[in-house]
Amino acid sequence: MRLHNCATAALTLAIGVALATSTAWAASPLPIAKPESFSVAPASLPADALTKPAKTLFGTKPTPAQLPAAAYGTYSKGCVAGAQAMPINGPTWQVMRLSRNRNWGHPALVDYLKDLANDAPALGWNGLLVGDLAQPRGGPMTSGHASHQIGLDADIWLRPMPNKRYSRWERENVSAISMLKGNMELPGADRSVDPQRWTDTHARLIRRAAQDPRVARIFVSPAIKKALCEFETGNRDWLRTVRAWWGHHYHFHVRLKCPEGSPQCRNQAAPPRGDGCGAELDWWLSDEPWVPDPNAKPAKPKPPVLLQDLPNACRRVLAQP
C-alpha cells in the first residue's frame, strides 16, 4: 500500500479536470517585511546554515520562537513564529505520538481544533485523537510530511477518543484505523470504505470540520470522498472543501486558510468549483493512479529543502534562542 503520510510530491493528473493541488499557490508574490530581510544568515546561525537541509535545523528546535504569532511562506515551504502547543489532554481530545513533539501550531489552528473537539460529542463522536500538527517552529520535518510547515495543518484520526485517558505508552503504540475495504493498488480493486468500520458519524465529523469558514481544504482518501459524496443528501457546498488525495485513510488532514496578522503567509488557490464528486473522483477511483506501471522508471529523489529556500523571515524564527 502506498502511504503518503499527509504529504507527497504533487503529481500531474492525466485528465482534463483542473485540480488545485497542495503546491498550487496564489500568484501574488510573497511580501518580505524590511526588518526580516537578510542578505546573509544572522550571526546566531551557523555560517553554513543557509545551505543546510532545513529539516535538520528546524527538527532539532524543542521550543517555539518567542515572536508574535505568524505563519510565513507556503504549507510546504515555510515556518511559524509564536506557535502554541495543542494541550495533550482536553475534555474532548487527546494528542497522540507525543514523542514527535509535533503538537504545535499557529494559535488559530489550536483554537480551531478545540472548537471542533468540543462540537464532536453532539455529532456522536466521543472526542478527537489528534495527530501531527507542526514542529515548534514549523519548517520541514525530519520525517514524514512535506507540508505541515506553517502551523496551519493538522491530522485527526478516524478513530474516536476512548472513554479513558491513554497512557504515554498507548499514545505511542495504539494504531489509527484504516477505513479501506481492501488494497487500492490491485487492478480492478473495489476502492470503497469498509462498511464495518466507516459510519455516518465519521461523515458528520468531517462535514462539521469542512463547514468551518477557517478551513481551506480537508484531504481524505478517494474512498472516503466517495462515501461522503454518497452520504450528503442536502447542501453539498462543503464537499468542495474535501479533496481526494493519496493516503489519508487512517486520518483526515485539515488545512486552514492564512490567518489575520500573517501577511507573509501564502494561501493555496481555491479548490475547483463543484462538489468534486464527478469526473475528477472517477479518475481517483480508477486503476490509473493506483496500479503500478512495471515499465515506469523509478522517480528520482528530490533534493532536500534548504534554509535558503524558505522565506527570509524563517531565519529569524530559527535564530531565536
Q: What is the pLDDT of residues 189-230, one digit of tens each?
A: 999 999 999 999 999 999 999 999 999 999 999 999 999 999
pLDDT confidence band for 22 (50 / 70 / 90)? very low
Containing 270, the helix (H) or strand (E) segment is none
The three-state secondary structure class of 203 is helix
- Tell me what pLDDT residue 24 has: 34
Comparing 77-81, 222-226, 247-251, the range with the smallest average pLDDT is 247-251
| pLDDT above 80 (res 236) | yes
Nearest to 242 by CA among 226, 264, 261: 226
The backbone torsions φ and ψ at residue 71, rounded to the nearest 5 degrees and listed phi first, read -100, 135
**Amino acid at the residue 170:** E
Looking at every residue in the chain, the average pLDDT score rounds to 87
> Burial level of 31, CB count in 10 A (0-12/13-18/19+)?
exposed
Q: How far is CA 273 from CA 87, 225, 230, 240, in A?
A: 36, 16, 18, 7
Nearest to 262 by CA among 50, 91, 108: 108
- Tell me what pLDDT residue 21 has: 36
More confident residue, 95 or 293: 95
Does the CA dihedral 48-77-209-277 come out positive or negative? negative
Q: What single-letter DSSP state applies at residue 107?
A: H
- Tell me what pLDDT residue 12 has: 36
Residue 177 and residue 193 in contact, taking contact as beta carbons nearer than 8 Å: no
Residue 5 and residue 247 in contact, taking contact as beta carbons nearer than 8 Å: yes
pLDDT confidence band for 25 (50 / 70 / 90)? very low
- Can you tell me the distance from the alpha carbon of 241 to that of 243, in angstroms, rounded to the nearest whole number? 6
- Tell me what pLDDT residue 299 has: 83
- Tell me what pLDDT residue 145 has: 82
More confident residue, 30 or 215: 215
| pLDDT above 60 (res 52) | yes
pLDDT digit string, tens, across residues 160-196: 999 999 999 999 999 999 999 999 999 999 999 999 9
pLDDT confidence band for 51 (50 / 70 / 90)? confident
- Tell me what pLDDT residue 288 has: 92
- Can you tell me the distance from the alpha carbon of 165 to that of 90, in angstroms, rounded to the nearest whole number? 10
- Tell me what pLDDT residue 111 has: 98
